[in-house]
């Protein structure tokens, strides 16, 4: 094996070296570039945004109190309604009844 130049800094790398002693990068190993994560991250952000909007719309629709419930009255009686007074019937005299007759009981006399 012969000496090669470092692909990153151009320094000489000995035949038994795998790493450059000047810059520390791999001299004989091919490194894969990092993957491009922009598209997957953007797609995930759009999906999360749409889910959040859908959740907010559903929450507002479920908690919408635009319809008013009929008011319930706590009183058991209806309110008084003013009416015209009507003529009162003529007074009636109470019927007269004779007091009940009381009979006095007398003990029998002369018997002992």
Residue 84 lies in a domain: no
Alpha carbon distance 12, 23 (integer Å) = 11
What was the pLDDT predicted at 31?
67
The model's pLDDT over 46-88, given as tens digits with 9 standing for 90+, comes to 999 999 999 999 999 999 887 666 666 565 565 666 666 676 6
Residue 64 lies in a domain: no
What was the pLDDT predicted at 42?
96
What was the pLDDT predicted at 63?
93
Residue 46 lies in a domain: no
Q: Which residue carries 């209806």 as its tokens?
A: 78
The model's pLDDT over 15-53, given as tens digits with 9 standing for 90+, comes to 888 888 999 888 877 767 778 999 999 999 999 999 999
What was the pLDDT predicted at 75?
55
CB burial string 69-103: b at 16+ within 10 A, e below: eeeeeeeeeeeeeeeeeeeeeeeeeeeeeeeeeee
What was the pLDDT predicted at 56?
97
Structure tokens at 94: 């109470």
Residue 16's domain comprises: 1-31
Residue 112 lies in a domain: no
Residue 25 lies in a domain: yes
This prediction's pTM: 0.35
- Residue 8: closest CA among 22, 16, 18: 22
Alpha carbon distance 71, 74 (integer Å) = 9
Residue 103 lies in a domain: no
Residue 5 lies in a domain: yes
- Asked if pLDDT for residue 4 goes beyond 90, the answer is no
Structure tokens at 65: 């109190």
What was the pLDDT predicted at 77?
61
What was the pLDDT predicted at 61?
92
């Amino acid at each position: 094996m012969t000496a090669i130049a470092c692909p990153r800094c151009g320094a000489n790398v000995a035949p038994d070296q795998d790493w450059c002693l000047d810059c520390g990068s791999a001299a004989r190993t091919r490194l894969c570039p990092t993957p491009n994560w922009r598209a997957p991250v953007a797609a995930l952000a759009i999906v999360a945004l749409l889910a959040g909007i859908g959740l907010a719309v559903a929450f507002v629709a479920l908690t919408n109190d635009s319809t008013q419930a009929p008011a319930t009255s706590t009183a058991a009686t209806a309110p008084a309604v003013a009416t015209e007074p009507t003529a009162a019937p003529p007074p009636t005299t109470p019927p007269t009844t004779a007091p009940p007759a009381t009979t006095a009981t007398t003990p029998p006399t002369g018997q002992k």
